[in-house]
Amino acid sequence: MAFVIAVAQRKGGAGKSTIAANLAAAYAEEGARVALLDIDPQRTLARWDELRGRSAKARPLHFEAPTGWRLPSVLDRLRRESDVVLLDTAPHDDSDARTAVRAADLVLVPLQPSPADLWSMDATLDLAKKEGRTLALVLNRAPASGRLLDQVTAQIAQRGLPLAGAALGNRTAFAQAFMSGLGAVEAAPKGVAAAEARALAAALRALQGR
């Protein structure tokens, strides 16, 4: 049975699609059977997947963009056929987002080190708690250091929220890879961004089954 990860955050622009794509590429690099689902009406990953089909660097992964009544049956099928299923959810609380969270083994909540991202995630946390899902926060576009980063991580710790043991830095390599339909591990496999994507994938693997 697959490890199902729903990437969810009520605030737009937190980096859900970038994180989902980079995790998909990192798990595919390991040889896993990866399914990536785009259930965000913006269809950012659908465009990414189109570009991916033109690149010789892209590793095989399965992509779908199901909605509505099709989503539960697609999830059931892919849970049987895949090793990892990643879902990029909508930034608002619609029925598809709730279905994704309900089906997930792990709800991954990305946030930039900013007050707006920190304050906007409570609805997602409440939904994951209501559904009894394992939860992890991940910092995205994080600087190496700084006062704001320290303040945000301190507030996360004060609230007793689980923070993934790896973060994605504020690196143009992620955006450059994404524009080519790739993950950082494919576009520049020896780069720092690729190392961060692999570290995050490993950190989430450690949460599997909890």
Residue 117 makes CB contacts below 8 A (sequence gap 6+) with: 9, 11, 14, 111
At 209 the pLDDT is 65
Q: Rounded to the nearest 5 degrees, what angle is found at the Cα of 10, between the Cα atoms of 185 and 126?
A: 110
Q: Is the pLDDT of residue 198 over 70?
A: yes
Q: Is the pLDDT of residue 67 over 90?
A: no
Q: List the single range of 21-35, 57-71, 181-195 with lowest mean pLDDT.
A: 57-71
At 14 the pLDDT is 83
Report how far apart, in Å, the C-alpha atoms of 103 and of each of 3, 71, 89, 131, 133 are.
10, 10, 12, 9, 9
CA distance 191 to 159: 34
At 47 the pLDDT is 96
Q: Is the pLDDT of residue 114 over 90?
A: no
Please report, rounded to a whole number, the percentage of residues in the chain having pLDDT higher than 70: 98
At 170 the pLDDT is 94
Q: What's the pLDDT tens digit per position in 137-188?
A: 999 999 887 788 889 999 999 999 999 999 999 999 999 999 999 999 999 9
CATH architecture of 3-205: 3-Layer(aba) Sandwich (3.40)
Q: What's the pLDDT tens digit per position in 68-87?
A: 889 999 999 999 999 999 99
Average pLDDT (186-200) is 98
At 13 the pLDDT is 80
Report H helices in the chain: 16-29, 44-52, 70-81, 95-103, 115-120, 122-130, 147-158, 172-179, 184-187, 192-205
At 6 the pLDDT is 97
At 141 the pLDDT is 93
Q: Where are the domains of the chain?
A: 3-205
What are the helix and strand counts (H, E) for the chain?
A: 10, 6
